[in-house]
Amino acid sequence: MKNILYVSPFPHIGGGEISLLIILKNLDKKRFKVSLICYAEGLFVEKAKKLGIEVVIFKRDSLFSNFSILWKLFRYIKKNNIHIMHVNCLDIRAGIAAWLARVPFIGHLRVVFPFTWRDRLFVQLSRKVIAVSNAVVNAFCKESSGYMSKFVVIPNAIEIPGDITPARLKEEFRLSSDTKLVGAVGRIDTFKGYEYFIESANIIKKEVPNVAFFIIGGVTHEEAEMYLNNLKRSVSKLGLSDSFFFTDFREDILSVIAALDILVVPSIEIRKAGGRVTEGFGRVAIEGMAAEVPVVASNVGGLPEIVEDNISGMLVPPGNPNAIAEAVLAIFTDETKAKALGEAGRRTILERFSLKKVIKEIEGVYERILYR
């Protein structure tokens, strides 16, 4: 049996953390013994512990703690006879600790963001980096094509229940039984493009008065809190407060998505100093497709690798509320199209993003490193 150490710095729950929990839960425990290190307590840690995973916290509370964490990681690797380390991002502290301990490590690249010398050093020292889409590989290697051989593309997986029972959103929010429900799901962050979803809601509402809208996602930092407050002000200014609802992260997210008539993924690309930020994959899109809910998604980042336009969903230009509204209204007015999109989306998930397929590919990466 081989010992695998996972390192996941962030304590909050997002797409990357949900995807890692699925790996931890479904990895072949007869071949791999797993442990997890995080840098803070949080919901992600709680969920990992409920899976029976050994979790150790190395707290990060100052600049000096970065060196302390590196040393603690090094000692943990040596003491626990770790054979391979899997980092759920490109955390250079973990990478250097493994390199010093002469243990092979891999990273997991899940988002397009402004890459720095630290990220490039991590990739250079790593044995392999799993990327969730070709989009993130191309973004990283745009100016450094020499790193291309370091990457292997493995999409996120999803656990698909045989039967997804829709949440009773209409009762919960006191909506009439014939109300149409349109939602956007994901943690609150500026690159999620929620402001364009709100603008599209204003257009949709004029054509379909009996409709309600949802933004479902948690806040993980101060900038996100400010962004959320701005979104709520926009809803109020547009006079949509009675039909627009904001909720925090939901444990029953697949059931919530299944209750929607349409799922919108309005992500955008944001230019920042040193690069850009956008959707590396778009986990919520595969959750919607798994629930047979028609998906309207921005044609940005990794989303076009998930959604085939007008077949398994509809792709629209990013940052274009008119295009979002047009796609939503087209689905509302054509029940046959809505049904076909939902069914094709479900087939796509079963064929391309099945849990068994993705776990097998990840285990294959481990085996090639361990037994080469």
Distance CA 82, CA 296 (A): 43
The count of C-alpha atoms lying within 13 angstroms of the C-alpha of 302, restricted to the half-sphere facing its C-beta, is 27
H helical segments located in the chain: 15-26, 43-50, 63-79, 92-100, 117-125, 134-140, 169-172, 194-207, 222-237, 253-258, 283-290, 321-332, 335-352, 355-370
- Residue 299, CA distances (Å) to 89, 213, 268 in order: 24, 21, 9
Q: What is the pTM of this model?
A: 0.91
User: The tokens 């909720």 sit on which residue?
Assistant: 247
> Which residue, chain included where needed, has tokens 């929990």?
21
Q: How far is CA 36 from CA 255, 262, 287, in A?
A: 28, 36, 25
CB-CB neighbours of 84 under 10 Å? 22
Residue 63: its pLDDT value, please?
67
pLDDT in tens, the chain (372 residues): 999 999 999 888 888 899 999 999 999 999 999 999 999 999 999 999 999 999 999 987 776 778 899 999 999 999 999 999 999 999 999 999 999 999 999 999 999 999 999 999 999 999 999 999 999 999 999 877 789 999 999 999 888 877 789 999 999 999 999 999 999 999 999 999 999 999 999 999 999 999 999 999 988 888 999 999 999 999 999 999 999 999 998 888 999 999 999 999 999 999 887 778 999 999 999 999 999 999 999 999 999 999 999 999 999 999 999 999 999 999 999 999 999 999 999 999 988 888 999 999 999 999 999 987
Q: Distances in Å between the alpha carbon of 101 and those of 9, 76, 106, 229, 323?
A: 19, 10, 14, 46, 52
CB 287 within 8 A of CB 185: yes
Domains of the chain: 2-156+355-370 (3.40.50.2000), 169-352 (3.40.50.2000)
C-alpha–C-alpha distance, residues 338 and 145, integer Å: 41
